[in-house]
């Protein structure tokens, strides 16, 4: 790619911010932190399940920009088939339509690329993923799980996202979050798109035997003026077992009812939904109703559709603690 020579007395005109992420029936959440092991994948995958359960009318797809394959193991309904497409193919085709699969829990997902090195080289233009999502005809909410780096694929996620969730678990990840803000500034992405989420919180952990660690982190996040979701996610031995006890990581919603982290993930999902509705990234509840459903409801107003009743009962069972 050629570069243009600098014109000394004419400073380049740059837009103040990058264009908004794709619209028209699509919204995007990215989960990113440069520090490894802070719970990005756990948040991305489980939040997707809670969002889907809370808003049955909102299709949700998880796209992993990592090659760890946790997302595939969690959602795939069948073993990988020979010749099956993955993110690498979607990237080359500039559309995820052919590689999106319907998986467990009603969540769509894109099989992870076997190795992200090649993909990173094809992601030098940070707006590539945004354009791929625009060209994808599937509509709903994309949840992007990123690798613990701030390289080209993660930058692509930032440019595509309506909201960027940054999990912070300790002081080191808080310092890494500062780097995220610097990358956003460089890419002219508004810092307001970020929401810090405190993760792996152990309320017993004290700093110098006095202040609780999570309170200290909250104070520092507020001092730095970083936007934060109010809900914090606790460290839970149950979650650790669900993630690492078997080959297939298990959903917190389906396997950890009655735990604090279950209630917290539900609260976080409600917070995220309200936020996405408030910024116009997704319609309010009921806004995704199809014309056929609307006609059916108008013809027979007192009875909600059977699927809705079943779904609601199912949810009530899940939410009971």
Ligand X SMILES: Nc1ncnc2c1ncn2[C@@H]1O[C@H](COP(=O)(O)OP(=O)(O)OP(=O)(O)O)[C@@H](O)[C@H]1O
Q: What does the binding site for Mg ion look like in residue numbers (CB under 5 A)?
A: 40-41
Shortest approach of Mg ion to residue 3 CB, angstroms? 35
Nearest Cα residue to 110 out of 80, 155, 148, 153: 80
Q: How far is the CB of 147 from Mg ion (least distance, A)?
A: 7
Candidates 169, 164, 178, 165; CA nearest to 216 is: 169
**Three-state SS for 309?**
helix
Q: Which is nearer to ligand X, 48 or 239 (CB)?
A: 239
Q: CA 179 to CA 34: how far, in whole Å?
A: 8
Q: Which of Mg ion, ligand X, none binds 38 (CB below 5-8 Å, type-dependent)?
A: ligand X
- Report the alpha-carbon distance of residue 282 to residue 270 in Å, rounded: 13
Which residue, 59 or 167, is less far from ligand X as judged by CB?
Answer: 167
Site map 48..67 versus ligand X, x via CB under 6 A: ------------------x-
Residue nearer to ligand X on the CB measure, 240 or 300? 240
Pick one of ligand X, Mg ion, none as the site partner of residue 152 (Cβ within 5 to 8 A by kind): none
Structure token pair of residue 12: 């380049």
For residue 173, state whether it binds ligand X (rule: CB under 6 A): no
Among Mg ion, ligand X, none, the one that 39 touches (CB under a kind-dependent 5 to 8 A) is ligand X
Contact 107, 53 (CB under 8 A): no
- 235 contact, one of Mg ion, ligand X, none, CB 5-8 Å limit per kind: ligand X
240 binds, among ligand X, Mg ion, none (CB under 5 to 8 A by kind): ligand X
The yes or no reply on residue 245 touching ligand X (CB under 6 A) is no
DSSP state, 285?
Answer: T
Residue 178 is given by DSSP the state H
Local structure of 64: helix, strand or coil: strand
Interhelix angle 152-160/128-135, nearest 10 degrees = 50
Torsion angle in degrees (nearest 10) through CA of 126, 272, 33, 142: -40
Q: Which does 201 bind (CB under 5 to 8 A by kind): ligand X, Mg ion, none?
A: none
Binding mask 202-241 for ligand X (x = CB under 6 A): -------------------------------x-xx--xx-
Q: Which does 34 bind (CB under 5 to 8 A by kind): ligand X, Mg ion, none?
A: none
How many angstroms separate the Cα of 317 from the Cα of each of 14, 213, 264, 312? Answer: 52, 34, 17, 9
148 binds ligand X, rule: CB under 6 A: yes
Selected from 28, 32, 42, 112, the binder of ligand X by CB under 6 A is 42
Closest approach, Cβ 249 to Mg ion, in A, equals 11
**Do residues 85 and 99 touch, judged by C-beta distance below 8 A?**
yes
173 pairs with which residues across the strands? none
Cβ-based burial of 24 (10 A; exposed 0-12, middle 13-18, buried ≥19): exposed
With binding defined as CB under 6 A, does residue 284 bind ligand X?
no
- Residue 261 interacting with ligand X (CB under 6 A): yes
Q: What residue ranges bind ligand X (CB under 6 A)?
A: 36-42, 66, 148, 200, 233, 235-236, 239-240, 243-244, 261
């Amino acid at each position: 790619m050629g570069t243009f020579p600098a014109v000394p007395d004419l400073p380049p005109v740059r837009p103040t911010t990058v264009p908004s992420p794709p619209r028209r029936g699509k919204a995007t959440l990215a989960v990113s932190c440069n520090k490894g092991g802070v719970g990005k994948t756990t948040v991305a995958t489980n939040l997707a399940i809670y969002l889907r359960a809370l808003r049955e009318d909102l299709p949700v797809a998880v796209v992993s920009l990592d090659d760890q394959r946790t997302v595939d193991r969690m959602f795939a309904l069948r073993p990988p088939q020979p010749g099956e497409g993955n993110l690498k193919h979607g990237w080359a085709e500039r559309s995820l339509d052919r590689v999106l699969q319907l998986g467990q829990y009603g969540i769509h997902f894109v099989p992870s690329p076997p190795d992200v090195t090649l993909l990173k080289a094809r992601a030098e233009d940070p707006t590539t993923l945004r354009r791929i999502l625009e060209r994808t005809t599937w509509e709903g909410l994309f949840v992007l799980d990123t690798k613990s780096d701030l390289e080209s694929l993660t930058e692509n996620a930032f440019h595509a996202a309506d909201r960027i969730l940054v999990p912070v678990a300790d002081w080191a990840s808080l310092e890494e979050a500062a780097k995220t803000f610097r990358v956003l500034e460089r890419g002219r992405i508004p810092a307001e798109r970020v929401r810090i989420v405190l993760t792996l919180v152990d309320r017993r952990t004290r700093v110098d035997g006095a202040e609780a660690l999570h309170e200290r982190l909250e104070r520092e996040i507020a001092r730095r003026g970083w936007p934060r979701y109010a809900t914090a996610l606790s460290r839970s031995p149950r979650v650790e077992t669900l993630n690492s006890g078997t080959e297939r990581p298990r959903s917190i919603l389906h396997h950890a009812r009655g735990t604090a982290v279950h209630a917290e993930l539900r609260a976080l999902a409600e917070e995220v939904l309200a936020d996405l509705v408030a910024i116009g990234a997704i319609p309010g509840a009921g806004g995704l109703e199809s014309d056929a459903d609307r006609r059916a409801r108008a013809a027979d107003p007192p009875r909600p559709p059977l699927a809705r009743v079943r779904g609601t009962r199912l949810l009530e069972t899940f939410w009971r603690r």
